[in-house]
Amino acid sequence: MMRIFDPHIHMTSRTTDDYARMAAAGVRAIVEPAFWLGQPRTNPGSFADYFDSLIGWEPYRAAKFGIRHHATIALNPKEAGDRRCLPVLDLLPRYLDKDGVVAVGEIGYDSMIPEEDEAFSAQLAMAVEHGLPALVHTPHRDKARGTQRSLDVVKESGIAPGHVAIDHLNEVTVDLVRDSGCWMGFSIYPDTKMSPPRMVEILKTHGLERMLINSAADWGVSDPLLTKETAEAMLAAGYTEDDVDRVLWRNPVEFYSQSGRLDLSDLDDAGARGAEPTFEGSSILRGGG
């Protein structure tokens, strides 16, 4: 069975049915970037509890399905524009030291206002200080200019381009990022962003190097299995199984391994640590204690 590493998926918003389907489809490892929840938060404490979940409860839940979960932590671009949330930046260093945190992210722009500049630059500096890669979200509105401006800020920060993934790219923005030396992230969505056939066309044009494919599944209309569907579209287009493995496993492993914290050991034993094997799956499948 093919192995899939989804480098960007918001499992907090997904159900155990999704975990079961993902495991059955070959998803063995995921990275969950800190992002917004649709409903804007209004204070730093709300973020602290969310970050705790990303390094506590969610990896535990994933492990019940044999899936290894890592996270990226940041004040996201959608909420960085709210002054009430800027103190979240003071919370971050503590979380960026954690074992399960493999990058700073999602950072970047939403509306390209000065508050977002401040948070973006400060968090790129934190990535450099903690020796972590950075995951950069690109805005959905005014995307091309937002992507160029993001690359400018990345360059100015001094972080190595190879330590940066610029995400949610499409046919219009891929060239800019490829030329910058940053990794190229593509979110495959049912209706918006990218589709599997369009993704295959991009791979044909731009090659497999530094390419990251994710489902970015969250609380909106999205599908955690579109990574697999893209893999199948690649095979149908004549790519080999090794090509698929490169894009959907080895590339994300290479990118996040730069953190020195990606732990994919004993994947088959996931969930067994510190626990009796007899309760594998039970407390969650039964609805909790």
DSSP 40: P
Q: Which of residues 129-158 bind other proteins (CB under 8 A)?
A: none
Q: Which of 42, 99, 113, 141 binds other proteins (CB under 8 A)?
A: 99
What SS3 state is found at 98?
coil
Q: Tell me: does residue 171 bind other proteins (CB under 8 A).
A: no
Q: Which of 68/193 has CB closer to other proteins?
A: 68
Compute how many other C-beta atoms are within 10 angstroms of the C-beta atom of residue 19: 23
Enumerate the β-bridge partners of residue 134. 104, 164
Whole-number minimum distance, CB 137 to other proteins, in Å?
24
Whole-number minimum distance, CB 95 to other proteins, in Å?
8
The interface region with other proteins, picked from 119-127, 191-199, 219-227, 279-287 by CB under 8 A, is 279-287
Q: Which of 114, 158, 238, 288 binds other proteins (CB under 8 A)?
A: 288
- Alpha-carbon span 289 to 283, nearest angstrom: 7
Q: Which of 206/261 has CB closer to other proteins?
A: 261
Q: Which of residues 227-256 bind other proteins (CB under 8 A)?
A: none
Cis peptide before 106 (omega within 30 of 0): yes
Compute how many other C-beta atoms are within 10 angstroms of the C-beta atom of residue 278: 6
DSSP 165: E
Q: What token pair was written down for 288?
A: 């909790």
Q: Tell me: does residue 114 bind other proteins (CB under 8 A).
A: no
Q: Tell me: does residue 60 bind other proteins (CB under 8 A).
A: yes
Q: Which of 97/241 has CB closer to other proteins?
A: 97
Q: Tell me: does residue 282 bind other proteins (CB under 8 A).
A: yes
Q: What are the C-alpha distances in Å from 105 to residues 8, 11, 20, 120, 229?
A: 10, 15, 26, 10, 26
The interface region with other proteins, picked from 7-15, 94-102, 112-120, 149-157 by CB under 8 A, is 94-102
Q: Which of 42, 57, 113, 172 binds other proteins (CB under 8 A)?
A: 57
Residue 104 near residue 123, CB atoms below 8 Å: yes
Q: Which of 3, 21, 98, 198 binds other proteins (CB under 8 A)?
A: 98
Q: Which of 90, 191, 268, 276 binds other proteins (CB under 8 A)?
A: 276
What SS3 state is found at 43?
coil
| Cα 267 to the center of its chain, rounded Å | 19
Cis peptide before 58 (omega within 30 of 0): no
DSSP 14: S
Could you list the residues that contact other proteins (CB under 8 A)?
48, 52, 55-57, 59-60, 94-95, 97-100, 260-261, 273-276, 278-279, 282-284, 288-289
